[in-house]
Structure 1
Amino acid sequence: MSTGNRPFRVLGVQQIAVGAETKDDMTKIWQGMFGLKKHGDFKSEKENVNEDILKIGKGVLGTVEIDIMAPLDINKSPKVHVPNLNHIGLWVDDIDSCFNYLKTQGVRFAGGIRVGAAGHKVCFIHPKGNTESPIGGAGVLIELVQAPPEVIKAYDDIKE
């Protein structure tokens, strides 16, 4: 697949993160009614989040995380439950090149590259642009996630 002058590829959906004031109703529907299995959890005072990491699908490219999130303190920011569809995550094959390239194109990021809840390097495209960086996620918080080698290999092995 040609990427032109873009030094990275988007390989697939890595996660969809949803939030509410508590995880109770989300747990009932996602785990109870849909039968998704809990794969892990993550709590962070700094990010004001209490998160359960669920998995859906099979295989390294067919598996998507459904992250259900509630704030540790409903009165503090960030408010992981507002909006309820918090963010989407995309696998990328080279997060450093991706971040640097998008930054030069005027994309606004919410911070830099860091290690995320699932242990992968991540960065977030801010939902809104500003004067300095006019391109945002058009109202959507977008997480870019460094794909592990097995995801990159599976993507490369698929015949189009």
Structure 2
Amino acid sequence: MGARRGFQEAVLAIVKKIPPGKTLSYKDVAGRAGNPHAYRAVGSILNRYDAKKWHIPCHRVVRSDLPAPRPGLYFVYAVLCGNGAIYIGQTGNLQKRWMQHRNGTASDYTRRYGARQLFHYEQHGSREEAVQREKWLKTGFGRKWLKREWKAGRTRQAGGTPGGYRWGSKRKLHLLKKEGAL
């Protein structure tokens, strides 16, 4: 019982320290609290507390439904920015890179305009393949293809979802926008 209580207190302390305009995933919070596999418990803990009464910014904890990094696996991804533009990049660790974009530490462009949604990603077996595909997607034809696939609902959706929130996802999105995290 004491270990569970200690984990709960650690989670609440970590979430209280997330600065306005920044977010962490449930998995990141669980890892910082000492048990990286207990990310579902983080959601349960945050759901039990009245955020207003205890001054816990639960809305700054977001879901991470991206594939885990594996050796020899590279990703090309497309991010919808706050100004409506599409940012295209490639990485070996999609989860980490998405959180960097969300926190404004990945690129000057997404720091300036914000990363609203990771709306497409592709897996490749080598860095060279990923770079080649990234270059093609950045061409006029590639961007047209990407927009057409996205509008048709055929892109690989990932990340960018705010996750559950006791007072509704619209309220959570409103709070994150107000703080500049979206």
TM-score, with structure 2 as normaliser:
0.25
Higher helix share: 2
Higher strand share: 1
TM-score, with structure 1 as normaliser:
0.27
